[in-house]
Structures are given as structure tokens and as C-alpha cells.
Amino acid sequence: MAISINYDLDQGTDFSFIATRKDSDGFPVAITGGATAYSQMRKFYSSSSAVTFNTTVTGVTGEVLVSLAATGTSGIKGGVYFYDVELHITPKDGSNNAVGSTKVSRIVQGMITVYPEVTKI
């Protein structure tokens, strides 16, 4: 089960956090093979529109960098949103060929409160 962490985001600023894949004892688990991370934020779980974050898998330490530049956060309306970070891992052989079906896991979830920007230059 994913852990829940809430964040604050200041509209119009760079935003980032690190999501860490952990085992049931809370220790980081390396991300190996053909792993890709995805992360989105929505006003409601059922919303059709979403903000998609940039994600970078760092692998050995089990970390995923989730980020959005100031140009991306400037257009987000103030309020509370739901987000999650999913890891999609496709097992690969020594030649980097897929050898099994993709396994999907959620490593973190929660809410992001967006605080509107006051200064507009």
C-alpha cells in the first residue's frame, strides 16, 4: 500500500519532491529493470483534466524525482488537489527485451494544496 504525504505548492514557482519506494518495514527498495514513473494531480479523483508532473527514476536508491517548473504551476488554480506517483516496471532480460507483463504499483499518494500567487510581474 502506498504511503500518504501531503504537500504545499506555491502557484508560479518551481515545485518538486522525491517519492521513495519502500518495503513493508519502511526501507528503500531499489528500482531496477525497465521502470517508468508517472504522476498526476487532479481536483477530484474523477476529474477528466489533470496536471501531469515530470518524473525521473533514480533507481538504486528507490527514488523518483517529481517536478513541475514555474511555468507549469502558474496556470494551476488555487485549491486542494489529489495526486499519486505510480511505478510501472516491465521485467527485462539481459538484452533489455521485455520478458513479462508490466507490474504497476503506487508508491505515494496524497493531497497538494495550491496557494495562489499574489505578485504578478
Position 29 scores a pLDDT of: 86
pLDDT tens, position by position, 33-67: 678 999 999 999 999 999 999 999 987 788 999 99
Weakest mean pLDDT among 6-15, 39-48, 84-93, 107-116: 84-93
In three-state form (DSSP H/G/I as H, E/B as E, the rest C), the secondary structure along 56-86 is EECCCCCEEEEEECHHHHCCCCCEEEEEEEE
Long-range contacts of 47-54 (CB under 8 A, 24+ apart): 51/76, 51/81, 53/83
CATH 2.60.40.10 corresponds to the domain 3-115? yes
User: Looking at residues 89-107, what average pLDDT do you find?
Assistant: 76
The pLDDT of residue 38: 97
Q: What is the pLDDT of residue 98?
A: 63
Name the residue among 73, 74, 93, 87 with its Cα closest to residue 16: 73
Percentage of the chain surpassing pLDDT 70? 93
Return the pLDDT at 96: 63
Sorted by where each begins, the domain ranges of the chain are 3-115
- In degrees, rounded to 5, the angle at the alpha carbon of residue 12 between the alpha carbons of residues 11 and 16 is 75
Closest CA to 61 of 24, 21, 116: 21
Q: Which residue has the higher pLDDT, 111 or 98?
A: 111
Instruction: Give the pLDDT confidence score for residue 89 in this predicted structure.
Output: 85
97 pLDDT above the threshold of 80: no
Which residues sit opposite 5 in a β-bridge?
A: none
The reported pLDDT for the residue numbered 99 is 67
pLDDT at 101: 81
